[in-house]
Chain A
Amino acid sequence: MTNHQDMPYPLETEQLSKVYDNFHALKQVSLRMESGEIFGLLGPNGAGKTTLIGVLSNLVRPTSGKAKIFGSDVSLELKAQKKLVGLVPQELVNHGFFSVEEVLSYVMGYYGLKPDRNRIYYLLEKLGLIEHKKKKILQLSGGMKRRFLIAKALVHEPKLLLLDEPTAGVDIELRNTLWDFVREINKTEGVSVLLTTHYLEEAENLCKRVAIIDKGELKEIGPTKDLVKKLTQRRVEVTLRKAPEKRERPHFVEFVDNKYIFTIPNNMTVGELLQQCKIPIEDVLDLQIREGRLEDAFLAVLSGKE
């Protein structure tokens, strides 16, 4: 299958399943990524995200179904296809006796590229590791190891980057730096990015489209904004000049002092709400609106209230 520009999709799965003994880690998952997008794969712990990434990177053999990278079945283990993918695994990795620079040189060699110091130093510079290039991986801190893994995944200039919780256990400043870098390579090198993360606010800011999986099953997939709109409600707090008469009102949730709290559908305006509740605008002292967030959508999917 190809996308609208006749380019193969960076990633595509069809009815993909993985069963470990009697445990269904993936249940007929079908999804695809558009070329050049940053796509979020969201789900609670044990949802099957890492298994899916494992299948896409050849580390896990699927029980049934197909996974394709740039149009080729991953089970064929084509060398040309492997060159297009970079993987940042969830778990931190060490490399025994080798230094940061040595590992990156060897990884370039594995991809059939002569070690290119410019590329290596560019990535180390961007990821704040240039001063640590002679250190062994064991000597790096957790955050440095995460950044090193990103450099390692990008050293051969892949076209698809698989990021499996790259910011787990990383402080907020570093997380922002990493996401800025992901945006940059997405823009400048045209790298399509699949990421999994537990930081839903970051996923909301970064990903144009997301998929939510739970217990191995694909629950929702689509543009982030559309999912939020579909699965969440707006919260409206209306503070009145004087205490209102107590009576039943549509969308009413809570009443505190002079304040009504409502939740309304995303396609409903505040004007319509006030009209339906028969609240004259001159009685309104203050209005606060909180739009639905990806986190709310995520929780709604997990609780089955979508």
Chain B
Amino acid sequence: MNNPSTSEVQSYKKLLFESVFPFWTLFRKEVHRFLKVINQTVGAPFVNSALYLLIFGVSLGKSIQDYHGYPYLAFLIPGLMMMSLLNNSFQNSSSSIVGSKFHGDLQDLKIVPLSSLQIVWAMSLGALVRGLVVATVTITVSEVFYLVSYGKFLIPSHPFMLLAFCVIGGLTFGTLGIFVGFISKTFEHLNAVGSFILLPLLYLGGVFFSISTLHPFWQKVSQINPLLYFINGVRYGFLGVSDIPVGSAFAVSVLSLILLQLCAMYSVRRGSFQRW
């Protein structure tokens, strides 16, 4: 077999660069966008997490029974971290798209040489970065609270599993944000999804309580909430125990990511890039 000539290698490299660089640029822009308003995107979740930990974890937590031998604060920390991660991942991509629709620059993405797949992945990775930054801030605050309350840090039992659920969760909700952003026709549509669908699912997904405390009927109902699987996956990563078997949690999380990737691809291909 002949070795490729220098010019062939160079033209291959050029082609690769021209394909990858647009994707990298969009990803960088998505990250740059949230860093431009870091007070709003990272500062606000920091305050929120601190308040949740203070009120629920420290004050009320003392009167709540232990969870598999862990204090309530330890139960709360993984859920709170995942709630912040999912929320912020969703907000990053959805607000980027909706904001661009409002400003009129979304059509740039349609006329430049970026494929639908590149748009979906660059935006969902940008969303994941914001989610991970906020999750890291939440964990840092939480560890301080835990250290003050119990004199030690809460060390994750399965760090790789924890990371896997964080990455899948961030990508899934970043992708969901793309889908919702493209199908929204007004700011109200976007807010409605956040307030009437996501928020209830998050709160009922086991962030603040174990579903084992619910009536068996409501336990069954809770199991159709996909967020329960993400949150319990992360809780397993932290504590080594959860309400849902980790295999089921992993399977549902991956399936959710695949399904939403398909929805997001459809919305990018068929949705409108025109200004509102």
Question: Which A residues lie at the B interface, using CB under 8 A?
Answer: 57-59, 79-80, 82-83, 85, 87, 89, 91-98, 102, 106-107, 109-114
Would you give the shortest CB distance from A300 to chain B, in whole angstroms? 34
Q: Is the CB of A114 within 8 A of B37?
A: no
For B21, the chain A residues whose CB sits under 8 A away are 109, 112-114
Q: Is B25 an interface residue (CB 8 A)?
A: yes
A109-B25, A112-B22 as given contacts; A97 in contact with B37, CB under 8 Å: yes
Q: Is the CB of A93 within 8 A of B104?
A: yes
- How many A-B contacts if CB must be within 8 Å? 78
Q: Is the CB of A97 within 8 A of B36?
A: yes
Known contacts A59-B111, A79-B19, A80-B113; 18 further A-B pairs (Cβ under 8 A): A57-B107, A59-B110, A79-B113, A82-B112, A83-B113, A91-B104, A93-B104, A93-B105, A94-B104, A94-B105, A96-B33, A96-B100, A98-B36, A107-B112, A109-B25, A110-B109, A110-B113, A112-B17
Option from A87, A112, A113 in Cβ contact (under 8 Å) with B111: A87
State in angstroms the CA–CA spacing of A80 and B19 once bound together. Answer: 11
Would you give the shortest CB distance from B98 to chain A, in whole angstroms? 11
For B32, the chain A residues whose CB sits under 8 A away are 98, 102
Q: B109's closest neighbor in chain A, by CB? A: A110
For B103, the chain A residues whose CB sits under 8 A away are 93-96
For A111, the chain B residues whose CB sits under 8 A away are 22, 112-113
State in angstroms the CA–CA spacing of A102 and B99 once bound together. Answer: 17
Would you give the shortest CB distance from A171 to chain B, in whole angstroms? 23
State in angstroms the CA–CA spacing of A85 and B107 once bound together. Answer: 14
Option from A80, A95, A113 in Cβ contact (under 8 Å) with B105: A95
Q: Is B274 an interface residue (CB 8 A)?
A: yes
State in angstroms the CA–CA spacing of A57 and B99 once bound together. Answer: 22
The prevalent SS among residues of A at the interface is loop
Q: B274's closest neighbor in chain A, by CB? A: A59
For B33, the chain A residues whose CB sits under 8 A away are 96-98
Would you give the shortest CB distance from B12 to chain A, in whole angstroms? 14
State in angstroms the CA–CA spacing of A48 and B235 once bound together. Answer: 57
State in angstroms the CA–CA spacing of A10 and B65 once bound together. Answer: 73
B1-43 interface bits toward A, Cβ cutoff 8 Å, 1 = contact, 0 = none: 0000000000000000111011011101100110011000000
Q: Is the CB of A110 within 8 A of B273?
A: no
Q: B20's closest neighbor in chain A, by CB? A: A112
Would you give the shortest CB distance from B210 to chain A, in whole angstroms? 41
Q: Is the CB of B29 within 8 A of A112?
A: no
Would you give the shortest CB distance from A7 to chain B, in whole angstroms? 21
92-124 of chain B: CB within 8 A of chain A: 99-100, 103-105, 107-115
Would you give the shortest CB distance from A106 to chain B, in whole angstroms? 5
State in angstroms the CA–CA spacing of A210 and B275 once bound together. Answer: 29
Say which size band chain B's interface belongs to: 20 to 34
For A93, the chain B residues whose CB sits under 8 A away are 103-105, 275
For B37, the chain A residues whose CB sits under 8 A away are 97
Q: Is the CB of B24 within 8 A of A82?
A: no
**Closest 9 pairs between A and B when the two form their complex, measured CB to CB:** A109-B25, A112-B18, A79-B113, A110-B112, A93-B104, A94-B103, A97-B36, A82-B113, A110-B22
For A83, the chain B residues whose CB sits under 8 A away are 113
For B36, the chain A residues whose CB sits under 8 A away are 97-98
Q: Is the CB of A109 within 8 A of B111?
A: no
Q: B26's closest neighbor in chain A, by CB? A: A110
Q: A153's closest neighbor in chain B, by CB? A: B111
A–B pairs, 22, beta carbons within 8 Å: A59-B111, A59-B274, A79-B18, A82-B113, A89-B107, A91-B104, A92-B104, A93-B103, A94-B104, A94-B105, A96-B33, A96-B103, A97-B37, A98-B32, A106-B28, A107-B108, A107-B112, A109-B21, A110-B22, A110-B112, A110-B113, A113-B21
B239-276 interface bits toward A, Cβ cutoff 8 Å, 1 = contact, 0 = none: 00000000000000000000000000000000001110
Option from B17, B19, B108 in Cβ contact (under 8 Å) with A110: B108
A95-B103, A106-B29 as given contacts; A112 in contact with B110, CB under 8 Å: no
Give the residue among B37, B103, B110, B113 with the most A Cβ atoms within 10 A. Answer: B113
Would you give the shortest CB distance from B117 to chain A, in whole angstroms? 12
For A112, the chain B residues whose CB sits under 8 A away are 17-19, 21-22, 113
For A113, the chain B residues whose CB sits under 8 A away are 21
For A109, the chain B residues whose CB sits under 8 A away are 21-22, 24-26, 28-29
For B26, the chain A residues whose CB sits under 8 A away are 109-110
For A110, the chain B residues whose CB sits under 8 A away are 22, 25-26, 108-109, 112-114
Would you give the shortest CB distance from B103 to chain A, in whole angstroms? 4
State in angstroms the CA–CA spacing of A24 and B7 once bound together. Answer: 51
For B115, the chain A residues whose CB sits under 8 A away are 79
Q: A156's closest neighbor in chain B, by CB? A: B112
For B108, the chain A residues whose CB sits under 8 A away are 107, 110
